[in-house]
A and B are shown apart, each in its own frame.
Chain A
Amino acid sequence: MEFLDLPQMQRAFIIALIAGPVAGLLGTFITLRRMSFFSDAISHGAMTGVTLGLTLRLASDVNSPAMQLTLVVFCTAIALLMAWLFERTTLHTDTVIAFSYTGSVALGVVLISRLHGYRKLEGALFGDILASSPADVWIIAGLGTITLGFLFLNMRALTLSIVQENLAKIEGVNIRVLNYAFVVLIAVVVALLLQQLGALLISGLIVVPAAAARVMAGTFRRMLIFSAGFGFVGAASGVFSSYHLDTPTGPTMVLCDVAILMLCLGARSVRRRPGEARPPAERQSETA
């Protein structure tokens, strides 16, 4: 464990071990609710938050606490706007995401042209987990606790709403509040992980472990366990590999997640889960 001799590696490793499983678990619900592009839109829109923070001099650099606060506010505002548009208009979900995404990115590009020094944005685009401060470790630990607390306290409601929202409503779940709280949670997670993982990579950490878990799991419980487990393994092996291969840590973590997904897809293609029934369409085509 020579790579843990350096304090910045220790901090990066701790953050990765928290962020990996938490993002994976959150990704389970994001993917099953078909909101993968929602988290992607927020993370890309967050670039505008960064340029806004720098242009308006709300923060001096990408890694400052003031920037974290700016991003939380900006990402939450974008998330709430998109959720409100889903609810109040007849526009398709992908349409709302597309125009929120492109609109905020376009605004970011316009603002960037006003900035002198584009290099300031590199950290926000690709992230730098090795630049994490001791305070960041505490912030990510707090974020992890809040995210897990939210997910586990609302596990029954979130799962029921995946099958059908009306079933959850009859059980007394306030779906509107749940949906808004969920998008705010996604926004806060994206905003606070932006400095470590970058706007272009956060979605990978959230979606890929959940996708791998979905491929392997035969039950919902196993999907939850696998997504957290794959997130943990991907993050830990990513930090470890990046040290030995001398590669950027954030992208290496996502690559490890992608490798896990590929292994899962390979494993599933050679072996059907025990007791798994074939899809009805497949069975019907055989009997026809």
Chain B
Amino acid sequence: MLDPILEIEKLCVAYGEHEVLQDVSITIQRGQFACLIGPNGAGKSTLLKTIVGLVRASGGSVVSRARQIGYVPQQLPLDAGLPLTVAEFLSLKLTRSRWWFGVRHSLREPIRAQLAEIGAAHLIDRRLGMLSGGEFQRILVAYALINDPDFLLLDEPLTGVDIRGGLSFDGLLHHLHDHRHITILMVSHDLHLVEHLSDVVFCINRDLCCLGHPDEVLKPENLAKAYGHLPGMVRDAGGSAFIPMANIH
């Protein structure tokens, strides 16, 4: 039985005169692992930001039936000297009042449990600026998982993560989807990961180019629709190597 958690109808988003998304319609069913692919500047991150309300739509509708949405933003460079610890960062989300002055004693256990679930309990007292790309990405996931979301949006979570970190992150996503039954919508350039994890793939380049099961979507002729031309090669998992497009199928 169909049970949509997200219904987007004819969505249009513009930054000033520049239209970023044009008549995009997407439906995601509860329990699905959906991936969003497309070239740089295609509007993938904008789509996620529109869903969480960071960007206002200029037309169309976004209807979410999620109880709680978790959002993992695209990773930005962080000040390496920022003296904010992982526990302090997570406590910012756990604290509901405007007043905040570090980690309250009563919050340390919930924070440790949250981190333990994603295999990062050892990072609790580390400073954010000292984390590697993969570690910081896990902490952003832990942050998004606070308040027990049933729908998780991830914006290029593997940017800057090495192969080992990528494989480990792959396992984390499996766990969240299969064991916590969280519906996931992930933006990724990593076609191996997309093929491996997703139930449904949406390929966009301002408008929706194609959608369907990864076996159907990740074909050179479909990718050509979104990317404009066939590069012949695609980036490998972790972004460290290239493989021929033909090897995908």
- Which residues from chain A sit less than 8 Å from chain B, CB to CB? 32, 152-157, 159-160, 162-164, 166-167, 169-171, 214, 217-224, 275-280
Q: Identify which of A169, A224, A280 gathers the most chain B CB atoms within 10 Å of its CB.
A: A280
- Quick one: which of B79, B83, B100, B130 contacts A277, CB cutoff 8 A? B130
B82-A162 in contact (CB<8A) = yes
17 more A-B contacts (CB under 8 A) besides A156-B97, A160-B92, A167-B143? A32-B79, A153-B99, A155-B98, A156-B92, A159-B88, A162-B79, A169-B54, A170-B52, A170-B71, A171-B93, A219-B84, A219-B88, A220-B102, A221-B103, A276-B127, A279-B80, A280-B132
Complexed CA–CA distance, A156 and B85 (Å): 14
Dominant secondary structure of chain B at its interface with chain A: loop
B83-A220 in contact (CB<8A) = yes
B130-A276 in contact (CB<8A) = yes
Q: How far is the CB of A217 from chain B (nearest CB, A)?
A: 5
Complexed CA–CA distance, A226 and B77 (Å): 26
B101-A155 in contact (CB<8A) = yes
Q: A155-B101, A166-B54, A170-B53 are in contact. Are A217 and B73 (CB under 8 A)?
A: no
Q: A170-B54, A277-B126, A280-B131 are in contact. Are A219 and B98 (CB under 8 A)?
A: no
Q: Name 18 interchain pairs, CB-CB below 8 A, sorted by A.
A: A155-B98, A155-B101, A156-B92, A156-B98, A159-B88, A159-B92, A163-B82, A163-B84, A163-B89, A166-B49, A167-B73, A217-B83, A218-B85, A219-B83, A219-B84, A219-B127, A222-B83, A280-B133
A163-B99 in contact (CB<8A) = no
- Quick one: which of B97, B103, B128, B133 contacts A163, CB cutoff 8 A? B128
B127-A218 in contact (CB<8A) = yes
Complexed CA–CA distance, A157 and B93 (Å): 10
Q: How far is the CB of A155 from chain B (nearest CB, A)?
A: 5
Residue of B nearest to A223 (CB): B83
B95: chain A residues within 8 A (beta carbon): 156
B82-A224 in contact (CB<8A) = no
B241 at the interface (CB under 8 A from A): no
Q: How far is the CB of B3 from chain A (nearest CB, A)?
A: 25
Complexed CA–CA distance, A160 and B93 (Å): 9
A159-B85 in contact (CB<8A) = no
Q: How far is the CB of B108 from chain A (nearest CB, A)?
A: 13
The 8 closest A-B pairs by CB, nearest first: A221-B102, A156-B100, A220-B84, A280-B132, A217-B83, A155-B100, A223-B83, A277-B130
Q: How far is the CB of B2 from chain A (nearest CB, A)?
A: 28
Residues of B22-61 contacting chain A, CB below 8 A? 49, 52-54
B246 at the interface (CB under 8 A from A): no
Complexed CA–CA distance, A219 and B85 (Å): 6
B78 at the interface (CB under 8 A from A): yes
Complexed CA–CA distance, A275 and B123 (Å): 11
